[in-house]
Amino acid sequence: MEVAGLRLLHLALGMFWAGGTVLLGFWVVPSVVAAGPAGGAVMRGMVVDRKLPQVMTVSGILTILTGLRLYQLRFSTAWLTTTEGIVLTLAGLIAIGGLAIGLFAQRPTAARLSALGETIARAGGPPTPEQVQEMGRLQAKLLRTGKLLGAHVGTAALLMAALRLAQALS
């Protein structure tokens, strides 16, 4: 019963996390950045009003924790050398790398960008040249890390799904 519940939770959380990171990293954030100042309102809505970074962080952490427990329940040295063991180990490591990118690069960058936007809005005038430069730097980093995060988590999800499909077809 534990395995079935963990698998269902891992699958649901993983779909949300992977789908969200790929969508955000490759389409939403680039579109928001390309929209210029108008994109700031959308970013504020996602980050401040709807708490998307917190939701994505929690889903990522819970996906990893449920995956680690499933891995622990399945683990043996003999299993580790099987195709399933190798693929799930690789996918898990890639997903953990994605979580680290999200926690230590993407999330702090989004928070700094949001705080800078709030500072500019409170000032009531156009941003200073320094603020414009900092905003551009933070947006570029957000774009890079978003794509890297989406690639990591998307690849991990694809590896796991391909393994399960191959097992079902054999």
pLDDT 10s digits, 89-100? 999 999 999 999
Domain count, the chain: 1
Q: CA-to-CA distance for 17 and 55, rounded, in angstroms?
A: 9
Domain that holds residue 63: 2-165
Dihedral sign for Cα 129, 42, 17, 167, please. negative
Q: Determine the pLDDT at residue 48.
A: 82
Q: Determine the pLDDT at residue 37.
A: 79
Q: Determine the pLDDT at residue 129.
A: 95
CATH number at residue 117: 1.20.120
Q: Determine the pLDDT at residue 101.
A: 97
Q: Determine the pLDDT at residue 42.
A: 87
Dihedral sign for Cα 15, 17, 22, 28, please. positive
In a domain, 84, yes or no: yes
Q: Determine the pLDDT at residue 39.
A: 85
Q: CA-to-CA distance for 163 and 112, rounded, in angstroms?
A: 39
Q: Determine the pLDDT at residue 117.
A: 85
CA dihedral 21, 27, 29, 35 (to 10 degrees): -170
Ranges under pLDDT 50 in the chain? none
